[in-house]
């Protein structure tokens, strides 16, 4: 059960970092925009999703590097991260769904 999220973790991390970089650039260029109806609500929901993905990505990366550097052979250190690693694909999918419904292409 834990093996599948662990296999996909590097790919999802790359996708998340790519999305975290591209969304502000596309908003600044005008390639993405918020629809006119309920614009403030959609901007707030999108910002909350962006912050959630940013904070979770940074926190998970720091935790993984800390576990790899301090205790690379200890199973207990990695098992403490198991729930966070398993939840990351779900967080990414949830935030991608939020971005899909709040941001529109021009």
Question: What is the domain count for the chain?
Answer: 1
Instruction: Render pLDDT for 53-105 as a digit per residue (tens, 0 to 9).
Output: 999 999 999 999 988 888 777 788 788 888 898 899 999 999 999 999 999 98
Domain that holds residue 72: 3-105
pLDDT over 70, % of the chain? 96
Residues 6+ apart with CB under 8 A from 16: 53, 57, 92
Taking only Cα atoms into account, the Rg of the chain, rounded to an integer number of angstroms, comes to 16
Distance CA 62, CA 81 (A): 11
Q: What is the pLDDT of residue 1?
A: 56
Q: What is the pLDDT of residue 88?
A: 92
CA–chain centroid gap for 44, Å, is 17
Q: What is the pLDDT of residue 2?
A: 61
């Amino acid at each position: 059960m834990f093996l599948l999220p662990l296999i996909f973790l590097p790919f999802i991390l790359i996708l998340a970092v790519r999305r975290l970089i591209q969304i502000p650039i596309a908003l600044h260029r005008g390639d993405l925009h918020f629809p006119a109806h309920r614009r403030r609500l959609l901007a707030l929901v999108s910002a909350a999703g962006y912050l959630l993905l940013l904070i979770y990505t940074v926190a998970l990366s720091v935790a993984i590097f800390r576990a790899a550097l301090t205790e690379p052979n200890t199973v207990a250190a990695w098992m403490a991260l198991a729930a966070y690693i398993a939840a990351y694909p779900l967080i990414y999918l949830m935030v991608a769904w939020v971005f899909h419904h709040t941001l529109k292409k021009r």
